Amino acid sequence: MNYKKGFTLIEIALVILSLSILFVIMFSLNLTVLNISKTKAPISQQRSQALLALNHIQNTIRMTYYFPEIEKTVFFGKSNGVDNNRMDQLTLTAVSSGTQVSGGGVVKEISFYLKKDSISDLGILYVREDQIVDEQPYVGGNHYPLLENVKSFQLSYSLNGVEWQDNWSSKSTRRIPRLIKINIKVQIGKNVEDLETIAMPGIYLR
């Protein structure tokens, strides 16, 4: 008589126990990875937003349009506050490419400024855009938030990269700086990070 050999209850129990242990390990690993992702993702996103804001300011300055004979074109930088806690302002005329039907660019007014609330030491970095270049280049237009949780927004200007100054007025100098140092201190997570770059203004007509 032939008997078919099968699994005993003990063997089946051992297999079920082994699978249960594997499932517990896999679940624990997935939960750990998920928790790490939730913790790191916001910080990485905040840093990316800060770098994008810095790059936007840099690219805008590169598109500077200034012609001394045209009073409406300006480059005006004003310092405000103390070191590591600055709230500088910058207003300039810049070329915005591809905004006309013909495919060319149009000159518009652009401002960057930091506005803090009365409670915290952090604020929002804004950009102001005005499609109309007029005799009042510091007012009007639309204001958009560019970056949140900003502690300091500092700009410095230079003609040679050696001597730097905190204020600039094209009305008095009849020219624009060759180099602009941009410094943003922004809170990312629990830390305040220092982001800095150099921008070179673009179109300068004499």
Residue 31 lies in a domain: no
In a domain, 21, yes or no: no
Closest by CA to 77, choosing from 137, 129, 162, is: 137
pLDDT at 21: 67
Closest CA to 166 of 180, 152, 176: 180
pLDDT score at 42: 75
Q: What is the pLDDT of residue 31?
A: 58
Total domain count for the chain? 1
CA dihedral 41, 44, 50, 51 (to 10 degrees): -140
Asked whether residue 7 is domain-assigned, the answer is no
- Give domain status of residue 5, yes or no: no
pLDDT at res. 131: 85
What range defines the domain where residue 181 resides?
49-204
Looking at residue 7, its pLDDT comes to: 54
Does the residue 77 lie in any domain?
yes
Question: Is 150:166 a contact under the CB 8 Å cutoff?
Answer: no
Sign of CA dihedral 63, 198, 50, 86: negative
197 found inside a domain: yes
- Beta-bridged to residue 168, according to DSSP, are 77
Residue 82 belongs to some domain of the structure: yes
Please check whether residue 177 lies inside any domain of the structure. yes
Per-residue confidence in pLDDT tens, the chain, 206 aa = 555 555 566 655 665 666 666 655 665 656 565 565 555 567 788 889 999 999 999 999 999 998 888 888 899 999 999 888 999 999 999 987 544 333 445 889 999 999 998 788 899 999 999 988 877 777 788 999 999 999 999 999 999 999 999 999 999 999 999 999 999 999 998 899 999 999 999 754 44
Q: Which of 182-204 are b and which e, b meaning 16 or more Cβ less than 10 Å from the residue's Cβ?
A: bbbbbbbeeebeebeeebebbbe
